Amino acid sequence: MSDAPRILVTNDDGYSAEGISALMEALDGLGELWLVAPDGEQSAVSHALTLDRPLRVRKVGERRFAVNGTPTDCVTLGISNLLGDRPPDLVVSGINRGGNMGVDVHYSGTVSAAFEGVILGYPAIAVSQVAGEGMTWEASAALARELAAWVLEHGLPPSTLLNANVPLGPPRGLKLTRLGVRRYTEGVVEQRDPRGRRIYWIGGGEPVWEAIPGTDFHEVGAGFISVTPLHLDMTGLEVLDQLEDLKPSFLDHPNGRGGAS
Ligand code: MN
């Protein structure tokens, strides 16, 4: 196995979640699999990195580790310490229980873990399965294997990952997509606790998405698998020109790009 590609597998649902087991099974034979995942639920922790307490690693099997930290901690720790002197050829995050589409990629620990791989210089994939009645891991597991094999063969440009989402039920096909747009809805539920004090619960409302063809949410809603390439560089390039005349009066030197003026 020493020449086999190394695949670092992680998630944000925890190392014992069904989705990561399905993923490990699906990737079996593609390379040397290393599982480094949180020891519990870490969904929606985004790209959080633990800086204020020690991290502990529990070996839960051969090349399998549970970490009392975030998905980003897992990728960082996996690559810097646990994998030893050979880095991964690919980072795969998932399979998440629940879709990670549109702006939700910014909250997602699943996608952030893949981004951490990208930041450290390795190609990465995030795979999510829309949750609901009748959900299975079959299609998402098969997709994860195909995507992993494809990326191992073709590679990905720097700073780029693939974010895949699988619909409920047998997929009608695969669409290459862009991120969808969520319409604002009542996302926060306000109630009173038994002592009459105000409490808030985020995420109580059903998200509503703009029906834009070619976006991940739209196509997944129509029964297709979506694959969206995501780029780490969030620079709003098209706005740079518009900002040309931004010259704060308290600065005595002219504004310039990239520090040069
Ligand atoms: Mn999750």
* Domains of the chain, start order: 6-180+215-236 (3.40.1210.10), 184-209 (no CATH)
Nearest alpha carbon to residue 96 among 121, 113, 82: 113
Helices 138-154, 18-27: inter-axial angle, 10-degree rounding: 50
Under the banding of pLDDT at 50, 70 and 90, the label for residue 258 is low
Ligand 1 center–CA 245 separation, angstroms: 43
Under the banding of pLDDT at 50, 70 and 90, the label for residue 119 is very high
Digit-coded pLDDT (tens) for 140-181:
999 999 999 999 999 999 999 999 999 999 999 999 999 998
| Res 52 pLDDT > 90 | yes
Contacts of 162 (CB under 8 A, 6+ apart): 124, 125, 126, 147, 151, 156, 227, 228, 229, 230
Under the banding of pLDDT at 50, 70 and 90, the label for residue 183 is confident
Digit-coded pLDDT (tens) for 123-141:
999 999 999 999 999 999 9
Lowest mean pLDDT among 72-86, 200-214, 231-245: 200-214
Under the banding of pLDDT at 50, 70 and 90, the label for residue 205 is low
Mean pLDDT of the chain: 93
Under the banding of pLDDT at 50, 70 and 90, the label for residue 102 is very high
Ligand 1 center–CA 41 separation, angstroms: 7
Cα–Cα dist 256/170, whole Å: 53
Give the environment of ion ligand 1: residues with CB less than 5 A. Answer: 12-13, 43, 96
